[in-house]
Amino acid sequence: MRNAISFFSGCGGSSLGYKLAGVNVLYANEFVPKASDTYKLNFPNTIMDTRDIRTIQPQEVLDKINLKVGDLDFLDGSPPCASFSTAGKREKNWGKVKAYSGKEQRTDDLFYEYIRMVKDIKPKVFVAENVRGLIMGKAKGYFNKFLAEFNKLNYNVKASLLDASYLEVPQMRKRVFIIGVRKDLNRQPVFPKKQKRLIVKPVYDKNYPIEEEAKKMPPSYMKYLINLKQGEQPQGSFFSLKRNHLYRPSYTILATYGKGACVMHPYENRHMSIAELKDICSFPQSFKLIGKYTDQAERLGRSVPPNMMKNIIKTLRKEVFNENT
């Protein structure tokens, strides 16, 4: 079986994708307690390291999983993206310590920590994920620096903007993926082909139970929601308030889901239930989440959709390792 390790693992969306693609995740690193606790619940056989990645030495990781430099198949990572997200303040936060999922830390330098791990562990393939804001505006300068660093490490490197709604996820979620294949393997990075786009109607046909928190709606929202049709969003200060359309993929589920104006149910004046959000983010209903409603929604909103990653890794297993999964 192919193996992988994961940095900035979150609650395990990416790791679940690897598992679905037939890859064993041996080690994961996640700094945020609510995320790492959720990960441990769902992946009890994976080593969870909760330290700040800045304090971790690559050889320590290899020793924990009993591998030598160059033996690892996949090195996965989703460095925190708040500093590059189009949903954030972007440039104002670059180089600053800021709140991130209950922690205070600088986030725009963490991609270099991921690169450090790739450099010293020398996996056969690395897969890095980030928000589309990384390739927009001034942030593109960071993106080009990251690519330049990867190219110094003896990898064939390619990047692509992928939409999860074409990869078995009923959600419009665009993310940048950077894939590197070690040059001695004589293969190029390959991205999955688009599949039939999914719609959200099957999610709402299931009549899942609805949390009371999902029903709570500030009066300031209601005046917009009452007349908001499927697939629409109001203009002005409530531009983030959107109503899903039954016959389209869901709008993007953000980490702030339930804490402010966000994606609403197609025909009921409420937020989505956690069960509905799991389906929209391609998590199985059996996936365990902890904490209050907004904590659980945040974990899903911060995650790489498992089915999206599954398709990426299956493609790489086929094209790089000549394996049919």
Of 11, 81, 262, 281, the active-site residue reads 81
Closest CA to 25 of 131, 40, 284: 40
Indicate if 81 belongs to the active site. yes
313 and 18 Cβ atoms separated by less than 8 Å = yes
Residue 178 corresponds to which tokens in the numbers above? 């950077």
Q: What is the 3-state secondary structure (H, E, C) of 135-173?
A: HCHHHHHHHHHHHHHHHCCCEEEEEEEEEHHHCCCCECC
Strand bridging mode 97-100 / 155-163: unpaired
**Measured in whole angstroms, how far is the alpha carbon of residue 288 from the centre of its chain?**
17
Please calculate the CA angle 62-63-66 and round it to the nearest 5 degrees. 80
Give catalytic residue positions: 81
